[in-house]
Structure 1
Amino acid sequence: MLKIEIFPENVNIETRVIPAKDDKPSRTIYEQIAYAHLGGKFPVEMKLQLEQGQPAYVAGLYAIHPSSFVINQYGSLELKRFGLLIEPISGK
């Protein structure tokens, strides 16, 4: 199981604005730093995208929620491009 960890120092939301370009309006992105345990010696830093108004995830261990996966047009399993959700893992 892929584990995602959020440390106490990463329970805040980082906001960044992508400026308007051509006919597209500016966009505000809400992110939280997390760490993916990919099997190496150390976890790898990643960013979780959050929806506007969504509270930050609390510190702890998480797994990817099943709703974050889709079957693509070739019948293969993949992560959704947007809307990644995680859920707490009970016990460490």
Structure 2
Amino acid sequence: MQHMKIEIQNPQVEVRNGTGRDQRPFQIRRQVAYAHLAGLAYPVMMRLQLEDSNQGFQPGMYELDESSFYVGKYGELAISRSVRLRPVSVKA
């Protein structure tokens, strides 16, 4: 089974701060990544939203972890807003 490959080229994390409707402060942390999608000749730029405990991914190739998927309240397959990646193991 082939997993979706995600490439990180730059460890920089974008941080946005704001105040919600309830007047509580919030912070959104994102990192630029590139998705290698089947059928496309080149990777597609995307932004990953990072969990609070994630300081950002180091440059390298990753796979989208299965824990990033869930079944929504209407039974549809969905992807978590804060995805989890695992490093691609390099074969000798």
TM over 0.5: yes
| TM-score band, normalised by shorter chain | 0.7 to 0.9
Partner of 1:37: 36
Question: Which residues of structure 1 form unaligned runs of 5+?
Answer: none
- Structure 1 length-normalised TM: 0.78
| Cα separation, 2, equivalents of 1:52 and 1:21 | 17
Moved runs in structure 1, 4+ residues, more than 3 A? 73-76
Please report how far the alpha carbon of residue 74 of structure 1 lies from its aligned counterpart in structure 2 after TM superposition.
4.3
Please report how far the alpha carbon of residue 83 of structure 1 lies from its aligned counterpart in structure 2 after TM superposition.
2.7
Instruction: Kindly report which structure 2 residues correspond to 1:27-66, keeping only aligned pairs within 5 A, or say none.
Output: 27-39=26-38, 40-66=40-66
Q: Which amino acid aligns with 2:37?
A: L
User: Is 1:85–2:73 an aligned residue pair?
Assistant: no
Q: Which amino acid aligns with 1:68?
A: S
Question: Which residues of structure 2 form unaligned runs of 5+?
Answer: none
SS of the residue corresponding to residue 62 of structure 2 reads strand
| Cα separation, 2, equivalents of 1:63 and 1:56 | 15
Please report how far the alpha carbon of residue 52 of structure 1 lies from its aligned counterpart in structure 2 after TM superposition.
2.7
Please report how far the alpha carbon of residue 79 of structure 1 lies from its aligned counterpart in structure 2 after TM superposition.
1.3
Please report how far the alpha carbon of residue 51 of structure 1 lies from its aligned counterpart in structure 2 after TM superposition.
2.4
- Percent identity (aligned): 38
> What's the Cα RMSD here?
2.0
Please report how far the alpha carbon of residue 22 of structure 1 lies from its aligned counterpart in structure 2 after TM superposition.
3.7
Partner of 1:6: 8
Instruction: Kindly report which structure 2 residues correspond to 1:16-35, keeping only aligned pairs within 5 A, or say none.
Output: 16-18=16-18, 20-35=19-34
Please report how far the alpha carbon of residue 11 of structure 1 lies from its aligned counterpart in structure 2 after TM superposition.
0.7
- Structure 2 length-normalised TM: 0.78
How many corresponding residue pairs?
88
